[in-house]
Chain A
Amino acid sequence: MNRRMAAFILGLALALLAGGALWWWLQGLGAGGTESQPPAGAGKAAPVPFDLWIPDGIGLRVERRELQVTSAPKDRIRRIAEALLAPRPDGVRLFPDGVALAGVQLSKEGTAYLNLVWDGHDDPPASGSTEELQRVYSLVNSIVTNVPEARRVALLWNGLQRPTFAGHLDTSRPLAPLDALRTR
């Protein structure tokens, strides 16, 4: 066996190693990426218009926005919440940068559970009552308005239900929408 043959075998082995590593990585990515994939059987994602409740002045205004969603209620809830948590073009954020949606559940009784997390922060952001109302009911109203399967929304912070988010609202139980916050 000459040097060329040895080099060929080694090259082949390295290529196989690289291929195996790539396959492994792809397997792992598939398993860890289920959160962003549409649920199996929920159909393909398609653009659907939603009425989102956006902070405005001292209340919330309704803004129509198109989101890519499947027909699965949980997927719709997740997309709506993610759209609300994302920074807006005017720079206003519903929650400070870093607050993210960690999970969604929907009970048979129609209670949607949203688990919000904020790395490095035990407590939700401090605020006045209007700000707290805007934060909480932007999510509650948007979800209940657009997802018929969700009748109430319970907000969790770092996986736990809290008596209040910012010292005013009672968030210890699922909340029904508050239409009176609508400004226009």
Chain B
Amino acid sequence: MQASPSPGGMGVRWERGIEGVRSGGILSGVNDRRFLGTLALVSLLLPVLVAAQARMETPPAVQHQPTVLLDGGILPAPVTITPAGPLFGLAALVNNLGGTLDADENGESFTLTIEGKDVVIAIGSAIITVGDNIVSLSQPPIRGEGTLLVPVDFLQKTYGDLAGFLFDWRPGVQQLVISRRAAREIPVLLDVVHLQGMTTVVLQFPEAPRYQILRQPGQVDVQMMGDRLAPPPTPPAVADPLVQSVSIAPDQVRIQLSPEAQASSYVLENPFRIVFDVHLPSQTPVPVAPGPAPSEQAPGVRTIVLDPGHGGSETGAIGPSGIQEKELTLTIARELEARLESQLGVRVVLTRNEDANLPLDARTAIANQNKADLFISLHLNSSLGAGAHGAETYFLSAEASDAAAARMAETENTAQPAVPEGTTGLETQDLELILWDLAQTHHLLESQRFAAMIQGDLNQTLQLRDRGVKQAPFRVLNGAAMPAVLVELGFISNPDEEKQLQDGAYRAELVASLTRAVSSYKALVENRPEPPQASQPGPPGQPGAAPPAQPAPQLKPAPGTRPATPGSSGTRPPQPRSSGRR
């Protein structure tokens, strides 16, 4: 066929070939039949070969005799070699390394429980959850060999991290060698803070140890499970009304409580900390009303940190005309800075004074480092719904502040301990971090009150129906160690408000309103009568209007606060605690 030159297409060439066959030009007689027979056979076998090839390529090819060694002996776990690396039968490993493996009702996902922590595995997904953490794998677990097959990094991130096993895959000899990690020696920092009737004991570790907490009357032990603590060179000296002593041994930390005292605990991460709140039974749930702190300075508002929202590549909301939230928040912050300084004589710090990215946690850090008395994050809003307008003021939801703590509550029988080192007030920088996540928890009540003052004045200024102050788990408020609010001064997504917000006179009214609220709060905190507001511009159409009535201090809900809905953890009442760093 190939021999016959073909000026046309394939069909033409094929026709000539057949003609050639018939004429005996190329093949003839028996050869002709053999050729066609072979052709037919090949054609029939071709699909089968193609299918077989495809089948061989699709699932990971099972290869032979890779082995798993545990403590020198062979562990009968199936191993499958794939182009992305080896996969190991999990069931056999669970039988030998400990833990339990359960399939869900659909057989679609599995829960592996190791040392009390759950690992959720979905077939075909390279993401697993270990406790509440998301962990990525090099390749997804799959079904095969009659079991669930997992990659070696799965084993390292589960059995390795949770139970102290080491996994060493040796491709040359196709062996997975499993060994038990030697006990780690983990240093510990201890901090004991007593404030307003409650003591907070914090044990901080550079890495999470494996531990369990044992309670007895008058005593709490943090007992190591496999790891060892590095005791501090000098025993911690604790002088505290509720904690008699804290002793650190290589295998445990013992907190000796005063008679009657009780301790509750929870865990914080980054860095890993076990926190104990020690209190007398009658004091436990009673929120402490804000009163004069036992500090060197009289209470007052001397430093205010203003946080212009967003910045840099984070534009924030964008209005219909293209104006960006980050530009207007900076403009308003500068205008408010000038007004607060000139009118109230306070020191004002801006978290950013240029168009630059600034992480949310860094904003709070600036406020804390400046020992600010108030933190105000300025924003402009946008909504998916039509017709949204007006101003809104938020303070942190209690759930968010607890959650820093909570992380879903510590499981006391689980995993990992710590050691202290001790005495009160050490390693300043580390200790500054220790209670960071809890910072705003201690100020929720004041934040709520300050938010209500701001919203009340803005309602009058903007002639708004009172929507009350709101709570949300806003990250920028979480670490603030002072009353902190986030104010949305208008909806930039609303064309009318976008236009107004670009008008200097309108912004001046907003700035005046915020200044009045700060002034009122300052007067309240400093326990003196409110200053006259005559010099302040009143709301549009109401020159010289009096500032709104101030809500009385109370826990929940404050006047105008959105009511909490049962079951909504986002609106739980604030529960101030009596430890703090300020």
Contacts and interface: CB of A to CB of B under 8 A. Distances in A.
B219 interface: no
B4 to A, nearest CB: 15
A2 to B, nearest CB: 8
Interface string A146-184: 000000001010011101101111101111111110100
Interface of B, secondary structure class, is: mixed
Contacts of A108: 111, 118, 120
B317 A127 contact: yes
Contacts of A161: 134
Nearest to A104: B122
Contacts of A130: 381-383, 388, 392, 488, 491
A170 B134 contact: no
Contact of B379 (A41, A160, A168, A173): A168
A20 B50 contact: yes
Nearest to A152: B408
A126 B317 contact: yes
Interface of B: 18, 21-22, 32-33, 36, 39-40, 43-44, 46-48, 50-51, 54, 58, 105-109, 111, 118, 120, 122, 124-125, 127, 129, 132, 134, 136, 309-310, 314-318, 325, 359-361, 379-388, 392, 394, 397, 399-400, 403, 407-408, 467, 470-476, 478, 486, 488, 491-493, 562-565, 567-571
B333 to A, nearest CB: 15
Contact of A55 (B47, B58, B385): B385
Contacts, number: 227
Chain A at the B interface: mostly helix, strand, loop or mixed?
A: mixed
B314 A126 contact: yes
Contacts of A74: 106, 108-109
Contacts of A12: 40, 43-44
Given A10-B43, A17-B46, A174-B132, A159 B127 contact: yes
A103 interface: yes
A146 to B, nearest CB: 14
A6 B35 CA distance: 10
Given A9-B36, A58-B392, A128 B380 contact: yes
B108 A39 contact: yes
Contacts of B18: 3, 6
A42 B106 contact: yes
B493 A176 contact: no
Contacts of B476: 168
A1 interface: yes
A94 B384 CA distance: 7
Contacts of A97: none
Contact of B399 (A106, A156, A176, A182): A176
A119 interface: no
Q: Nearest 6 A-B pairs (CB), nearest first? A: A13-B43, A20-B47, A128-B382, A179-B565, A128-B317, A170-B475
Interface of A: 1-3, 5-6, 9-10, 12-14, 16-17, 19-21, 23-24, 27, 31, 34, 39-42, 55-59, 72, 74, 92, 94, 103, 105-109, 111, 113, 115, 126-131, 133-135, 154, 156, 159-161, 163-164, 166-170, 172-180, 182
A111 B119 CA distance: 12
A12 B107 CA distance: 42
Contacts of A58: 383, 385, 388, 392, 467
Nearest to B17: A6
B318 to A, nearest CB: 7
B33 A160 contact: no
Given A115-B127, A180-B563, A128 B470 contact: no
